[in-house]
Amino acid sequence: ERYKNAALIIKNNKDIKNKKELIDKILKKIALVDQKIKLIREKSSNPDISKENQDLIKKLFSFSKAGDKDVGELEGAIALAKFGLYEKAIDEFDKLLEKENNYVKIMAAQNIIRCFISVRDIDKAISKYNFWVEKKFLPIDEIKKIKKIIEIYLDKKGEDKSCLKSFEPEKIPEKSIEDFDIFDFKEEPSKELSKASDGEIVFEEFDLIESIDKKEEPIQNFEYENVDEYLDIITSISITFDKGTKKSRKLEIDINVQTGNIINLIIPKNHSAFVKELSSGSGLNDIYCYSPMADFEARGVITAKNIITYGTKSGDYSLDIKLMRK
């Protein structure tokens, strides 16, 4: 879909002289990708998928900007989860927890929990969460979001939530007056005396810290950053179809994995009739989202649709939706 969009942009741009040459290259690239996807599907008719094909899936479905290696690895791990390869995806997400990039680390942590929930291994999800709480591995706001994902699942199952540890922020000890040093206080901008040419005394202000070099960290622009806080973490959605054979019908389903406002759903084969008429670019105008922040209405666009042909999810559909809050 990205290659098709690029071809369309080139076609409509009057300033590009070698349009035909560029479009031909893109079309060849699309054909090559289609051929590789077909090869994966043909080779993966049995439940076990080879490491070679797993690596191919990671490569085909990662589109990091500016060649960012960590973000590319994150997208590769998410691609594995999108195709129901949860065990391998969890292994890849685990490696990303050691990265310095906080965005990558947080997305990996959230999706590890989602993967455990997808395979109904809630005990491992709880164990992982409790370990992160104990080690103070993530910022409190992020650990609270992860806790909420697990709590919502436990509520649905009617299970006890007391097994989840509470994250207590570290308390800063109060200081008594004796603990303060006079040098702890910042000085106000000082005034320095100087003499003007006519002998008159004047005051000149200067800031003691004005001369210190301030080095700002560069802002990293990732595809999924700066997302509406309500879209940041969604546990499930309800789609009401407004056209086609399923018009007015409703589909409720849990989120498989998520990065920013891009969610992935695994549609079971027995519900495939809901998605057969959908394709990349299809709009969904009536979506209700369930989030730890609040429940809200949204709309969305299908960005990818694939049928899974291997493993326990064989015959199911993997559906990517880009969400926008109404």
Convert the pLDDT of each residue in 133-156 to its tens digit. Answer: 999 999 999 999 999 999 999 998
Domain ranges, ordered by start, for the chain: 2-121, 236-325
Per-residue pLDDT reduced to its tens digit, 7-50: 677 777 766 767 777 777 778 777 777 666 655 554 443 445 66
* DSSP label of 186: P
pTM of the full predicted structure?
Answer: 0.66
- Looking at residue 72, its pLDDT comes to 87
Fold of the domain spanning 236-325: Thrombin, subunit H (2.40.10)
pLDDT-derived band at 214 (thresholds 50, 70, 90) equals very low
Contact criterion met (CB below 8 Å) for 210 and 187? no
Q: CA 74, CA 28: separation in Å to the nearest integer?
A: 27
Rounded to 5 degrees, φ, ψ at 250 are -120, 140
Query: Percentage of residues in the chain with pLDDT exceeding 90?
Result: 41
Q: Give the pLDDT score at 143.
A: 92
Q: What is the pLDDT of residues 62-96, one digit of tens each?
A: 555 555 788 889 999 999 999 889 999 999 999 99
